[in-house]
Amino acid sequence: MGLVDDWYSPRPSLRAVALRPFSALFGAVVALRRALYRSGVRHSVALRVPVVIVGNITAGGSGKTPLVAALVAALAQRGFHPGVVSRGYGRDRGDDAPIIVGARDDPRRVGDEPLLLARAGCTVAVARDRVAAGLALLAHDPACDVIVGDDGLQHYRLERNVEIAVVDAARGLGNGWLLPAGPLREPATRLDEVDAVVMRVAEGGRAPPLRPRAFAMTLVAGDFVRVGNERATAPASAFAGDGIHAVAGIGDPARFFAQLSAIGIRAVPHPFPDHHRFKAADLEFAGARAILMTEKDAVKCEAFADERCWYLPVRARVDDALVSLIEERIRGSQAA
């Protein structure tokens, strides 16, 4: 078992317990940093347009990026002209000047998740400093009237008008401890301060009644798409039988493997760390008839993928009431 398994174990592991003193130190640093911004010692920077932050308080994936894509599309339908800022986690830093992401960019330069958003039609800027990314985005697209932050709930330098925290309902908050003994970036009480909590649930499920302003989100899968050839698609039934392998370099690889199992695919699982930089050798599976992966992983495998490689696209389905809440807060901030 790895440390992540310890975080979500029903009983505290010896390793997690041993790390509790470090969690206390981490918590002190988090509290101090937050206090510096609240007291005005450190200042947040307001952009000329409203900012909506989509983040989480746990380490690892929870479905933030699909939610960002869905919210950008929904806001556009309501007459807004949204853009997206991201840190571009896992990318090469270089001089870290802000980059406007193109649909054909190298994921090593811009990050895998920003590239996915750009390919979904979003205008995206990446930089370690989200304020710099936001300024670059507004200079690139003066018509932008709202910015959606993909992650960055803890990036207090960027002033925000709306905060949305995403929680995987199946995993919850794990053991409830701060890093590194648990998965939390901030105390669980941080969820009481955000404008909305979005619970990622299985299709057909409902958000647990944990708190007010909680909304459900499901990720709906489409047909498989051949890596490097979006015109080639195949249903799940095409991957029945033996010889199927699956790779996943996401926050919770087991979630992808379980998804494949739920649609009748018996694949040999190969988990990798989140944002893993795949190379050809990672896909060398003897006797593999097909190699299945997430869309996030596919963008990093295009250069060497062969006809056996397919990805499963997913799209977020969100409660329209969430979009209405965001619109209300945005228009309220614009009128203020």
Say whether both 280 and 180 belong to one domain: no
Q: Which domain holds residue 273?
A: 223-312
Region 214-226 average pLDDT: 95
pLDDT digits (tens, 9 = 90+) for 306-330: 999 999 999 999 999 999 999 999 9
Strands 99-100 and 124-126: antiparallel
254: its two tokens: 């087991």
Residue 251 included in any domain? yes
Domain tally, the chain:
2
Say whether both 30 and 64 belong to one domain: yes
Which residue has tokens 């925290």?
165
Handedness of CA 223, 226, 232, 237 (dihedral sign): negative
Nearest-CA neighbor of 49 among 97, 86, 88, 82? 82
pLDDT digits (tens, 9 = 90+) for 75-104: 999 999 999 999 998 898 777 899 999 999
pLDDT digits (tens, 9 = 90+) for 224-253: 999 999 999 999 999 999 999 999 999 889
CATH classification of the domain holding 77: 3.40.50
Say whether both 53 and 158 belong to one domain: yes
A 10 A CB-CB count for 121 gives: 12
Residue 186 included in any domain? yes
Say whether both 65 and 156 belong to one domain: yes
Query: What is the distance between the alpha carbons of residues 90 and 82, in angstroms, rounded to a whole number?
Result: 24
Query: What is the distance between the alpha carbons of residues 263 and 244, in angstroms, rounded to a whole number?
Result: 14
pLDDT digits (tens, 9 = 90+) for 156-182: 999 999 999 999 998 899 999 999 999
pLDDT digits (tens, 9 = 90+) for 179-192: 999 999 999 999 99
pLDDT confidence of residue 204: 61
Residue 114 included in any domain? no
**In the chain, % of residues over pLDDT 90:** 86
Region 10-27 average pLDDT: 94
